[in-house]
Structure 1
Amino acid sequence: MTTAGTLTLTATRARAALDARRGIVRLHPEALTALGLRPGDAVGITGRRTTAAIALEADRYASRRALYADDLTLGNIGARDGDPVRLAPVALTAADRVVLSGPASAVAVVDPDTLRLALLSKVVCEGDDVSLLPIELGSSARDAVTATRRTLNNTLGMGWTTMVLNVVEADPARGAMITSDTRVEWVGATRAAADLPSDLPLPAGRTAERMPVSYGGTASAARPRTESQTTLSNTPAPQAVPGVAPIPYDELAGAKIPAEELRELLDLGFNHREVLKVVGTDMALGVLVSGPSGAGKATIVRSVAEAVGARVSEISGSDLAALEANAAADRLRSAVAALAVPGVLLVRGVEHLAPAGRRTPLVTMFSR
């Protein structure tokens, strides 16, 4: 459907690996023409929220009524595969400043210059999720992209390819294109000296001194360091505590679509069993959450379970696989029987449990 300056299309999950998580969408050439766009122009996309992306041509077999977008873009507009979305041309403005949040491992080692190079030419809006995967719109950018990839590989390993950042601030707030002149920084990277604690230990070799009156208006003595501040403690560093509170559901960056789908399934089984009775079935639900190592599969499950009021118990698939088949099946049955109600049994590394071509008691349990 077309109205003045806009086009309503069907959101379609794109499978093109070269476009994935790079802020690129693809449209049929006729759709580009209807919007008055050329390949490489920016397009505004509205679902439950609005974002912007770079529009390129889809192949000749593409549907004229489809918007081809990756999971990150679909999450940014709050749409699922098959939802109607509204498109319109958007005026691009070079971003003056962009502030991002991200995993602590990235914040600690990725400097602002590398961050800007990874995001170069991407169009962002405040609240968007973005990846570190560089966008390449021409051979002239190939050397810069290669250098950025090398830097990220050296600092973060291959984990950088699946990391998701969030745009906390952008100037302007919508349709901001990141350029070589954009000031890109991590949230909280700059703090005023007044925000620092007043009782920080002094550097080694320094003694407590009286602050001159001219600095503060009144004379005040700096607190001398105590022995506990100058001597390294022999107490072991605190260890990670099991049962750390899950990330709040609303703060799941980059996983909005799978999290919402999982939430609907669990909510139906736990809180709306009357619906299941109407259709003559019962709650016997197993959900396979797949993805690369470190992508946050277990994090999604824990957060969604908390959102629907269910408790999570965890068991290791590799530990079960190390047992004799019947013993492993018995342990799995015991774990299910011990679940709280409502409860979710999270089997980490489930691929270890069902070797192809060999029927075991454990495989039978999972197939049911």
Structure 2
Amino acid sequence: MNEIKLTQFSHGGGCGCKIAPGVLSKLLASMPAGIVPPDLLVGTDTADDAAVYRLNDRQAIVATTDFFTPIVDNPHDFGRIAATNALSDVYAMGATPIFALAVVGMPLDKLPPEVIGEILKGGADVCRDAGIPIAGGHSIDVLEPIYGLVGLGVVDPAKVKTNAGARDGDVLVLSKPLGIGILSAGLKKGLLSADGYAQMIRWTTTLNRAGALLADIDGVHAVTDVTGFGLAGHLLEMCRGSGLGAEVDFNALPVIEDAAALVREGIATGASTRNWASYGSDVVLPADAPEWQRKLMTDPQTSGGLLIACAPEALEAVQAAILTTQGAPGKVIGRMQAGSPVLTVA
């Protein structure tokens, strides 16, 4: 089992295998208008993290699905990362997960049952840590290994946190450091150190539990999680949904140490380039910014952190919620500001 390298079966791992945002926008634009019942509180309009459907005045169902190809070779770690990433969308809406369904696609002629079993066990271990069961799912025989979850949660309809409610002057907080895509590229090239791999696993398997606590903080106006479109892409979605611009202090960005070193050496994923091609026209970088800074801003994060827009007076409570759930308070990286939905990097 240890001789199997899962990444050899995938053309792009983790959230780096997502369809580029520009292409996805065109695909979604071709979809016919569907039924939008009044109790569908969050649908596809603002590219939010999950759908939200109101059941009654006190309860709403949050539903999402997320799955991808291997980002690491270890099957148990792959399962843990994929499950953590999928549940992140539930937490990003301010909800508490209640159960999950497994999404499984495996090349049965290439992977022995014990390897597939370890992937499933990794996902189950994360769900157990989140306090929920995997109550079912679906599996198929495919060419590349695919694993993920359908995640379902509950939230008070009055406390739903979307990516579209930010206000002028809000502080931007990022709960996890950047660099996961860069580390994954380093891993594929055999350049990732043991400590770098340990940091990669640490952050990609840290549940974004703080999201459920943010629902009870009045000054939290918008939340999203940073995944395949990179920090710049997901912040731009927040800008568009809120009708505001944003400014980020590049030097304030938290970055995993090994990723910072690798990206300066030119190590990055192809998804970073695709991301920039999709939305780079809406990002203003300093004229003398080196290319590696652009690659970091567009680096696809697998199981990335929460990006939170909150009133300055709510900052202490927000960082306390993050500290309580993951052992570090997150970092203030910028602010929302009036103007067109453009991201300015200072």
TM-score normalised by the chain length of structure 1: 0.23
Instruction: Tell me which protein shows more helix as a share of its residues.
Output: 2
Higher RCO (CA-CA < 8 Å; seq separation 6+):
2
